[in-house]
Structure 1
C-alpha cells in the first residue's frame, strides 16, 4: 500500500509488551519457572490470554489463599530475566520522535517490571505510565485506556492506541478511543466481542508521526 495518514491524534497510548518491547522469551522463562511450583500442567497457549494482568490470570489458576504469593514469585522470576528484553523494531525511533507529553505507556504489567523492561530495551521512559497497580480492572476492561487519556489530559476519543493483544484492542474500543493500531499478526484475531483494530502493521517501523499526523507505511491487513 502507499503511505497514508491514519489520523491526527492528541495523544498516543502504547501497550508495552509486544508493542514497545519484546519480552516474550523472558516472560516464557519466568512463567515456566513459576509453573513448576504452582501449576505443573500450565500451558501458556491454553491458560493465558495475552494482554491481561498476570494477577488476573493467576487468580484463575491457583487457590485464592496463594494468589498473592504466586504473583510475587512470578514477578521475582520476571525481574530476574528482564535483561533478555529488547525493543520492538521501530519503537525507539518512533517514541523518540514524539513531542514531550504526547504519549503514555499503558501496560498490564506491574510498574517495577514495566520500567525495567523499557530500560532494558533502551526506550526513553514516558512522562506518564499506567500500570497494573493504577487500575481496579485490567484489560479487556476500558479502565486502563481511560486512565491513559486522563494522564495525557485529552479526551479519550482523540487518542490512538497501539496494541498487539485482542484483549487490549477490546479495552481500547470499550474506552472509546478514536483509533486502534494493531501490532503484529496476533492483532488480526478479534476479541470475543468482535473488537478489531482500524489497521494492523508488522511493527512500529511501519509508523511515523509527522507534523501531528500519524502516518502508516505498510500494513498486514
Structure 2
C-alpha cells in the first residue's frame, strides 16, 4: 500500500509521552509529529535518527505530521505506525494473497469475541471453520537479522493469546500473524527475556492449536507492501517452530 501523501525526511529530536515526537526538517524547521506507536520503540527513537514524516491537511487532526518510517541509512527501513499492519493485511486477505487463508471469501474487521476483546479479523467461508486472526506489528531488532516481539511487557498481547487458545479449543481456526515492519530481518523470535509471561502464553497457544504466521515487508518512503516469508525460531534462536509465506499463485 502506498502512503497517501509524499513523505518528508527529518531528524528525530526526541520522542515523548509515547505519541509525540519533536523533529527537525533538513531546512532547520522544527515540528511535533504524531507517533502512532505505544510500544517502547527500542532502538528506533534515538535522537538524531533519520525518519520520514507524512504530512496531512486534515483539520480534525491537531498535528500536521505523522511519523511513519525510520531510515537506517544503509538501504533498510523500519515502519513505526502500528496501525499500518492491519490495513496492509486486510488488503492482502481480501485479495486472497495469504496462502494459508486464501480460501476465505468474507473478511470482517474488529469483531467482538472472548472477554471484552475484539479480534482483528474474522474470516468465513461456506464449509470452513471460522478463522480468528490477530495481527502484531514487529519492529524490534537486537541481533542482526533477527526480529523480535514484544519490545515491552504486553498484558494485552498475553490476553489475546489466551483468547485465541479458547477459540482453537472450540474448533475454530485461530491465527496469530506477526507482521515484521523491518527490511533488515530474515528471522523472527519471541522476546522471552522481555516478557516471560507472553512467551509462556505463546507456548500454551501453540499446544492449543493456534497457528503462527510471520510475514515480512518491503518498505520505502513511497510504500509498504507484504513480501517474503520469515523463518520463525524458538525464543533462544535454536530451531524453527512455524513459518508462513505469501500466496504465489
Per the normalisation by structure 1, the TM-score is 0.23
Higher relative contact order (Cα pairs below 8 Å, separated by 6+ residues) = 1
Q: Which has the larger radius of gyration?
A: 2
Counting helix residues as a fraction of each chain, which structure ranks higher? 1
